[in-house]
Amino acid sequence: MDFGIKQGCWFICVFILLIDKVLPKRIIQSTISDSVILHCASSEATMRRSSLNVFWRYGDSKTLIDIIHGRASLVEQETAFRGRVDSFPGEYRNGNFSIRLRDVKLSDAGTYTCFIPHAGMEMKLDLMVKDRISPNTSELKSMGVKRRPENLWLFSASLFTFALFHLH
C-alpha cells in the first residue's frame, strides 16, 4: 500500500471510532400536556459524584438543569421550564442523566442537548410536539430514529471498502 491509501485507511478508522462518540440526533415525540423522558446516559466508569457535571440545554443556550458535583441545580433554569423539569439523582451513579419534562407545550418543540464534559459526550435530541386533536399519530411513530449497531458496521465496512479500492 502506498502512503495515500494508508492515510485514507487511517482517516476512515479514526472516523469509525469517533462516530460512536458523536451520537446522531434522535427524534423524540410527545403530545401537549404529557410528560416526556429525554434520555442521556454515559458508560464512563470513572465518574465520581464529586467531580460529576452534566448540562442540559434547549437550543444550545437555554438552561433546563445543571448537575454540578453530582447535585441537580435549577439556579440558572430558563423561566419557561420552571417547575416542569425533573432529574433522577439515584441514577447518576449508573451514568443515567435523563430528565423528565412535564406538561409539554407546543413551544417545547426543538433541540435539546445533554453535555457530559468528563466523558467528552454531547447528545442531541429533537422533540416533536403534537396537538392532542391530531389524528395521525402513526406518522410520528414512523419517524423515530434509533441507533442500530448493524447499520453502523455496514456503513463502516462500505466506507472502508470504498476507500481501499478508490483511493489509489
pLDDT at 32 over 70: yes
pLDDT one-digit tens code per residue, 123-135: 999 999 998 875 5
Cβ neighbours, 10 Å, residue 167: 16
Domain ranges of the chain: 1-22+147-168, 24-143
**In contact, 72 and 95? CB cutoff 8 Å:** no
Q: The C-alpha cell of 129 is what?
A: 410536539
CA geometry: angle 79, 83, 88, nearest 5 deg: 120
Superfamily designation of domain 24-143: Immunoglobulins (2.60.40.10)
How far is the C-alpha of 16 from the C-alpha of 153, rounded, in Å? Answer: 9
Which residue in 92, 82, 109 sits closest to 40, CA to CA?
92
Q: For residue 119, give the DSSP letter.
A: G
- Tell me the pTM: 0.64
pLDDT category of residue 18 using cuts at 50, 70 and 90 = very low
